[in-house]
Amino acid sequence: MTSTSVTTSSTSRRSSASAVDTRLAGTPVHALWTSEADGDLREVGEGGLPAPVPRDLALRRVRQVHGADVVVVDTPVPVGTVPWASLLGRLPEADAVVASGDGFALAVLTADCASVALGSPEGVHAAVHVGWRGLGAGVLARAIDAMRALGATTVVAGLGPCIGPCCYEFSEVDLDGLMESSGPQARGRTTWGALSLDLPAAVRGQLSRSEVSIVAAAEVCTMCTPGYFSYRARGDEARQALLVWRRG
Ligand SMILES: [Zn+2]
């Protein structure tokens, strides 16, 4: 799917959501967001990559810690980022993974947190895991900075399914901090009238501050929409995946 607005069905069947495969407009960068129907992707890459990810790519994923560290999987490696080559087989603790060349499938896993695919016309690309703590820590801006240091001119983004303001009840104190970094649109209301974090709007706010436009967005809440793993809805341990790769 290559449309600018990605929609998914939301019938009562839990298996109704389907994976979304898109090319980020104006770039050679592709993104795949899986859903519950694709199964638990915690061990993504074991037994092959999910279709339509090209089979010849090398998977690069991180051990997500809700921080702001950025791993770069090929060279050059910008100052302030972690080079993949130094890791000696261990999964790096980080929440963003960036590549400039092709040959890689970059992956992050989620069950309510936001997953953001980033790409540029030059083919620099990234997969970013953004929960509320990573949002506050500035993981998006750091990933975008790394991409620009690698030669990205225009950076565009795709936002996958994540928990929405309808469900993400939040304290006033924690919201205040996030509104500073993400703008007033981070403040939302749940369907039951409580204060909430509007995570997709906060992500949009931070992307806008970094002069990144969103070219694809799922616009779906993982907690109240059937067909997605949700930690907050059911304590799911299983995870959706975002995979990002470059062709051409
Ligand atoms: Zn919801």
CA of 239 to the centre of ligand 1 (A): 17
Segment 43-59 shows an average pLDDT of 91
At 21, the pLDDT band (50, 70, 90 cuts) reads: confident
CA of 192 to the centre of ligand 1 (A): 11
Helix (H, G, I), strand (E, B) or coil at 59: strand
At 2, the pLDDT band (50, 70, 90 cuts) reads: very low
At 20, the pLDDT band (50, 70, 90 cuts) reads: confident
Segment 178-204 shows an average pLDDT of 96
Element (H, E) at 209: helix 199-209
pLDDT of residue 86: 65
**Per the structure block, which two tokens stand in for 165?**
């303001």
CA of 163 to the centre of ligand 1 (A): 6
Examine the pLDDT at 4 and tell me if it is beyond 60: no
Helix (H, G, I), strand (E, B) or coil at 130: strand
At 18, the pLDDT band (50, 70, 90 cuts) reads: confident
- Set out the domains of the chain in order of their start, with CATH numbers: 20-161+225-246 (3.60.140.10)
Q: How far apart (Å, rounded) are the C-alpha atoms in residues 131 and 90?
A: 23
Question: Please, where are the H alpha helices in 49-106?
Answer: none
Q: How far apart (Å, rounded) are the C-alpha atoms in residues 176 and 182?
A: 10
Return the sign of the alpha-carbon dihedral for residues 194, 196, 201, 206. Answer: positive
Examine the pLDDT at 5 and tell me if it is beyond 60: no
Q: Of 135, 115, 112, 110, which Cα lies nearest the Cα of 202?
A: 135
CA of 58 to the centre of ligand 1 (A): 34
Whole-number average pLDDT of the chain:
91
Q: Which of 60-69, 79-88, 207-216 has the lowest mean pLDDT?
A: 79-88
Examine the pLDDT at 213 and tell me if it is beyond 80: yes
- More reliable by pLDDT, 204 or 89: 204
The total number of residues shown for the chain amounts to 248
Segment 28-41 shows an average pLDDT of 95
Examine the pLDDT at 124 and tell me if it is beyond 60: yes
CA of 113 to the centre of ligand 1 (A): 12
Examine the pLDDT at 1 and tell me if it is beyond 90: no
Percent of the chain, pLDDT > 70? 92
Burial class (CB in 10 A: 0-12, 13-18, 19+), 56: exposed
Residue entry with tokens 């225009």 = 154
At 13, the pLDDT band (50, 70, 90 cuts) reads: very low
CA of 201 to the centre of ligand 1 (A): 14
CA of 207 to the centre of ligand 1 (A): 22
pLDDT of residue 9: 36
Determine the residue type at 227: G
Q: 213's torsion region: left (phi>0), alpha (psi -120 to 50) or beta?
A: beta
Percent of the chain, pLDDT > 90? 83
Q: How far apart (Å, rounded) are the C-alpha atoms in residues 168 and 192?
A: 11
Examine the pLDDT at 113 and tell me if it is beyond 90: yes
